[in-house]
Structure 1
Amino acid sequence: MTFRRLARSNVRGNWHRYVAFFLSSTFSVMIFFIYAAFLFHPDVISGNIRAADKVRQGMILCEYIIVIFSFFFVLYSMSAFLKSRKKEFGLLSLFGMTSRQIAKLVLYENTLIALFAIAAGIGFGALFSKLFFMALAELLQVDTPIRFILAPKAIWLTVGGFFALFELITLFTLRNVGRSEIIELLKASKKPKSVPVFSKWLTALSIVCLSAGYYLAYQAKLNTIMLYMLPILATVIVGTYFLFTQASVAILRRLQKSPGLYYRHTHLVTVAQLVFKIKDNARTLFMVAILSAVILTASGTFYVLYLDTTNKALDHYPQSFGYTEREAGTHEIIHPDELRRLLTEKGQEIAYEVKLTGIPVPVTLEQMRNRQTEALLVPEEAYNRIAERLNRKTVQVEAGHAIYVFPYREVAVEFFPKGSRLETNADGKPLSFVMDGQLNGSVINTSVDYAGMLVVDDNEYAERIKGIPDNKRMTYYGFETRNWADSLTASQQIAGAIPEKERKRFETRVEDYLDYKQFNSLTLFIGLLVSVLFFVASGSMLYFKLFTEIQDDQAQFKALSRIGVSDEEIRKITGTQIGIVFFVPVAVGVIHAAFAYKSLGNMLGITVWHYGIIVMGVYAAMQFVYFALARRAYMKQLGQG
């Protein structure tokens, strides 16, 4: 028998071990090839596809992520496979095979799997590329469909890149093949395992690290997230590692000291075996927990940003169209009557209009590096009238007091705390206010001419405005239309009627909304494919970790059968153990993601729990399907022992 035939025979015989690794590798190749097919598409390279540059950089980043992730995934997988085959290598050595020949055999096996995975990945990639192009064309809103072309560069890059990746990792992992003595290899699976121990200090460290990471994540806001990011990642990763390597053993050993639970039904066998399984698989469970947290956090973030597109547009642009005149009573931008005419001409029905006149006063935002800007001083009654229409919070301000309204909800910085005093001036006349706090979220479109508003008592405003000429006042005009999402043509026509130097002060919701929507849709679409890749890989790690230990489990369950444990009880023990191995790291990842969602909500200024629960539910359902398939395959193989 030649090495090639022996390699093919080994792959067929161990297919139940290799299937998860093969499918994960195939999926990685498929996603990489689909992205490469778009990146090297002739119309993308020539610039014929409008807005393709918006996704090109994101796809290039995803390609790097896939390659880096595939490197570590393949390295881990091959190392685990070789470790589980020590007894087989010992037998081959006993029959006269040299270390060089064993390495050659493994190289043939891995090359065979790599070629099949690359071929299958490119085949499925070519099959789904058309659907991918159609979806992208819809998201990019291109005039004509993207042509179905499989660029030769994409094929050669995928084949060459992944073949080199597989072969290099194979050569790297083969360094340890054949270094052990034959007797050690033959007895590798029969070495008695010492009772797992744990460190109380490291267990306490895991609790402290996780608590610190969760606390920082819970408190993080937009202005502090960059400062907290690295400490959160460091403490959560360290805490998770010691949670599985130390705290898990401590918990299970504690259960063994609880007679009421430990000696009930089959718990004795289940817990006793779990102590060894969790300890042996601690690093795998740690990696799956971190991957689960990454998948849930990334997917949840993409999903929240996508669904929050409309809310974000409404927050930043309370009116569909708005502009600010520097001088009250003048219309250097556009006359309101002309704007109404153009809207009506384009089929836009006006729901309501707002007009707000105020006085620009200088303010200093110390928390933004002492930025010198202006706020619009407005009367309480005028502000409340618009706020009520928008279902926003109204205010009551006493004479000599003021409330600062910052335009952006997501910025959780208090520029003027309650009780502080603001010294400013209006047209050179000094003003002094006791601040009653701050509200986030403007009732009019954000303007380039001022940063927020100061709301004051009506009588005080009337007193302050006396003697201030019209050319020192600002007037905002806002128009809300009923079908604003379809008002792009109207927006472009109105912008064309405005003098070019004044266009930057004409603000329309629809253009930014469509940009937000397109970007967030593309991010969700591209990011979810990478998230699914991570999910498949994390499940595969658990799958082949189960099958690398199946020979030991077969021997243990045969022993249990001989002492009277029924097949039903063995299935119950096995199902419980597999369930714990599959779902404990997922549960830890869910908890990590929950605090990440809290940070995300703090940064966006919204509640994201209802979005996060949907993502977690979908992920749990997918994990359950993976668990059911793995359990079925494992039980079937276990019965053949």
Structure 2
Amino acid sequence: MADTAALFGFLFLLTLVWNLFGLLRSRPVELLHSASAGEREPRTRRLLVVLGAVTLGAGYATALTVEDPFTALAYFFLAVALVMVGTYCLFTAGSIALLKRLRNSPRYYYQPKHFTAVAGLLYRMKQNAVGLANICILSTMVLVTVSTTVSLYAGLEGALERMYPYDVDVVQSLDEVPPEQETALNEDTLERVQTAAADAGRKVELLRWSTPGDTVGYYTGNTFTLVAQEGVSTEIRLLTADDYGRLTGHTVDLEPEEVLVQAENLDLPDTFYIEDLPFHIAGTIMDFPRYNSSILISGQTAQLFLVVADETVVSAISDRDASRVHREFRVQVDLDGTEEEKLAFVDPLLAADANDVYSVISHQDNAVDLYTMYGGFLFLGVFLGLLFLLSTVLIIYYKQISEGYEDQRRYQIMQQVGMSPREVRSSIRSQVLLVFFLPLVTAGIHVAAAFPMLCKLLELFNLFDVRLFALCAAGTLLVFCAIYALVYGLTTRTYSRIVGGQ
């Protein structure tokens, strides 16, 4: 907070010094007559237009071509910076070029409602461009923050089902357990789970157990290396054919060098290696058993699920680097009862584990934490969205009102030379409409271009429902447009009253 206060203090001081410097360079007489001096026609700065088009195109290309969530996270702020630079450049120079193009179109320009609007904006755009760019950026921030946080909260149930498919997942590490003691320890853990369910008065509707292994490999060429190095960082999960058959009901018979695979963000050849062990892909699977996981964002860019022949193969992989292969005994349980009753099952289960032999990952327990966290995201998103919306409304409203007082004398002159009140109102609507909705349309284009990158970022929070995010984004845009239209109507009426058009 102190650093933030110091930063804002520095920015305000810098603004004060800049304004004082500009004031010292001005002559009082010039300031007194500045209102009647008129403005020179701004020049079309083609270099700035080209710079804006290039940076905006680069930002759009970055957002549209992103392939995975971690790349999106790495390049998100770069894309934002490029789009912001492009927006300011195009509003500063591109808007002037657009207005001059409209002026050069006789069919459009030589109409009373367009003539005064285009001419007035053209000579004023030099001082308006930054304000319009600010409104565009703020509008984009409103749409992005509200739509993403609303979609995260709306899609939380789906995320919970992906992260915690079972009511309870009991995890017992076997890393330090001698092989001859594993069977007895596993049977003891199963008995404790069933006893805890009986003590809690719950009926076990599903009971599964397995002994998976997992490690991290670094994939280059056709080989996974277990020691950290350059390559695609991949989470590798191992399951024996017996465990796979018990968990899924699909009986498989594999040779020692054969595997069934399911790969995410990874392309494998028919034969690949883990260290020096060759494996041949005997088939692909789409139903690799899932487990409860408390990891919200994984550190690996790819995942590989392998069904191997037996424990001998798992041991052979572990022998290459035992410190990198983690083995565990997992028990998945689904219970009857309400969510509160299922949550109450966790305490007696933990109480039965006096020596901290295993850990418990509960769907219901983590649901409470995630609803708390995602609810916080939603609050921040709505709060920041309202803040940005308020800033947008105030900037554009008071900017138009101040310009109304500047235009008052000009419209009086136009009426004196024959412009009717109806034509004045039509010209005012044309001018205010252009000023109002140019930033809004640009903000909508920004959000559409950022949509693929935002989808990838939301995948980091286990939101894979693109349709849900699209609906939330469309709904946010509609609500924002409705509020925007109300402000437009209020501003047009007040502006007309000031310039004497009513």
TM-score tier, shorter chain, comes to 0.7 to 0.9
- Aligned AA (2:269): G
Percent identity reads 22
Instruction: Give the distance between the partners of 1:404 and 1:510, measured in 2 at CA.
Output: 28
1:428-443 aligned at under 5 Å gives the runs 430-434=277-281, 443=290
Aligned residues: 461
**Structure 2 counterpart of 1:489:** 344
Measured against aligned partners, the alpha-carbon deviations of 1:427-481 in whole angstroms (never above 9, x if no partner) come to xx95523497897996222499xx9663448xx569979999xxx9865321234
TM-score (normalizing by structure 2) = 0.76
The yes-or-no answer on 1:225 pairing with 2:78 is: no
**Structure 2 counterpart of 1:314:** 161
The yes-or-no answer on 1:636 pairing with 2:491 is: no
How far off is 1:567 after superposition? Answer: 1.6
The yes-or-no answer on 1:576 pairing with 2:416 is: no
How far off is 1:219 after superposition? Answer: 3.1
Contact 1:361 1:424 in 2 (8 A): no
Contact 1:244 1:279 in 2 (8 A): no
Contact 2:236 2:306 in 1 (8 A): no
- Aligned AA (1:403): V
The yes-or-no answer on 1:454 pairing with 2:305 is: yes
1:131-530 aligned at under 5 Å gives the runs 180-220=26-66, 221-263=68-110, 266-324=113-171, 326=174, 329-332=183-186, 335-336=189-190, 338-340=192-194, 342-343=196-197, 346=200, 350-356=204-210, 360=213, 364-366=217-219, 369-370=228-229, 375-379=237-241, 382=244, 386=248, 400-404=258-262, 413-414=265-266, 417-419=267-269, 421-424=271-274, 430-434=277-281, 443-446=290-293, 454-456=305-307, 476-481=330-335, 485-486=339-340, 487-504=342-359, 506-530=360-384
Instruction: Give the distance between the partners of 1:482 and 1:538, measured in 2 at CA.
Output: 51
How far off is 1:71 after superposition? Answer: 9.0
Query: Where does the alignment leave 5 or more consecutive residues of structure 2 unmatched?
Result: 221-226, 318-325
For the aligned residue pairs, the C-alpha RMSD in angstroms reads 4.4
**Structure 2 counterpart of 1:538:** 392
Measured against aligned partners, the alpha-carbon deviations of 1:214-261 in whole angstroms (never above 9, x if no partner) come to 111223333223531343133111110111011122222222333343
C-alpha change, 1:386 and 1:583, in structure 2 (3 Å) is: farther
Please state whether the residue corresponding to 2:69 is helix, strand or coil: coil
TM-score (normalizing by structure 1) = 0.61
- Aligned AA (2:356): K
Please state whether the residue corresponding to 2:38 is helix, strand or coil: coil
Contact 1:256 1:271 in 2 (8 A): yes
Contact 1:362 1:374 in 2 (8 A): yes
Measured against aligned partners, the alpha-carbon deviations of 1:100-158 in whole angstroms (never above 9, x if no partner) come to xxxxxxxxxxxxxxxxxxxxxxxxxxxxxxxxxxxxxxxxxxxxxxxxxxxxxxxxxxx
The yes-or-no answer on 1:625 pairing with 2:472 is: no
Instruction: Give the distance between the partners of 1:181 and 1:377, measured in 2 at CA.
Output: 82
- Aligned AA (1:488): L
Contact 1:291 1:538 in 2 (8 A): yes
Instruction: Give the distance between the partners of 2:155 and 2:367, measured in 1 at CA.
Output: 11
**Structure 2 counterpart of 1:602:** 456
Query: Where does the alignment leave 5 or more consecutive residues of structure 1 unmatched?
Result: 1-59, 76-164, 389-394, 407-412
Please state whether the residue corresponding to 1:403 is helix, strand or coil: strand
Instruction: Give the distance between the partners of 1:222 and 1:455, measured in 2 at CA.
Output: 23
**Structure 1 counterpart of 2:411:** 557
- Aligned AA (1:564): G
- Aligned AA (2:401): F
1:45-84 aligned at under 5 Å gives the runs 64=4
Please state whether the residue corresponding to 2:122 is helix, strand or coil: helix
C-alpha change, 1:202 and 1:351, in structure 2 (3 Å) is: farther
Contact 1:333 1:499 in 2 (8 A): no
Instruction: Give the distance between the partners of 2:50 and 2:287, measured in 1 at CA.
Output: 41
